[in-house]
Amino acid sequence: MTVVSETPLTCSVDGNVVTGLKTGICSVVANQGGNNRFLAAPAVSTILAVGKASQTISGVSFTPPTIQVGGATTASATASSGLPVTFASNTPAVCRVSGSNITGLAAGNCTIVVQQVGNDDYEGVPSINTGFAVGAGAQVISAISFAPGALIVGGTTVAAATSSSGQVVVFGSTTPDICSVVGNLVGGLKAGTCTITANQAGDANVGAAAQVTAAITVGPSAKSPSQAGSSGCHIAHTSGGNGGALSLFALIFGVAMLRTARRVRRRGRGSAGRPVATRL
The confidence score (pLDDT) of residue 71 equals 95
Domain architecture of the chain: domains with CATH: 2-50 (no CATH), 57-135 (2.60.40.1080), 145-219 (2.60.40.1080)
Residue 192 burial by Cβ neighbours in a 10 Å radius (0-12, 13-18, 19+): middle
pLDDT at 255 over 70: no
- Count CB-CB contacts under 10 A for residue 151: 21
pLDDT of residue 108: 96
DSSP conformational letter for 247: H
Is 59 in contact with 77 (CB distance < 8 Å)? yes
Digit-coded pLDDT (tens) for 181-209: 999 999 999 999 999 999 999 999 999 99
Question: pLDDT above 70 covers what percent of the chain?
Answer: 79
Residue 260: predicted pLDDT: 63
Asked whether residue 264 carries a pLDDT value surpassing 60, the answer given is: no
User: Which pLDDT score, from 0 to 100, does residue 233 have?
Assistant: 37
Residues 6+ apart with CB under 8 A from 276: 264, 267, 268
Of 19-33, 143-157, 240-254, the one with minimum mean pLDDT is 240-254
User: What are the strands of the beta sheet with 2-5, ordered from one edge?
Assistant: 2-5, 24-32, 41-50
Choose from 15-24, 29-38, 247-256 the range with maximum mean pLDDT.
Answer: 15-24
In this prediction, residue 105 carries a pLDDT of: 96
| pLDDT given for residue 234 in this prediction | 40
The residues that bridge with 128 in the sheet, in sequence order, are 114
Amino acid letter for position 16? N
Each residue of 90-123: b (16+ CB within 10 Å) or e?
A: bbeebbebeebebbbbebbebbbbbbbebeebbe
pLDDT of 40 higher than 90: no
Mean pLDDT of 152-159: 97
Q: What is the mean pLDDT of the chain?
A: 86
What gap in Å lies between CA 90 and CA 109, rounded to an integer?
Answer: 10
d(CA 149, CA 218): 10
Question: pLDDT tens digit string along 45-104?
Answer: 999 999 999 999 999 999 999 999 999 999 999 999 999 999 999 999 999 999 999 999
Within the chain, where are the H helices? 225-229, 243-269
Residue 174: pLDDT over 50: yes
pLDDT the model gives residue 1? 81
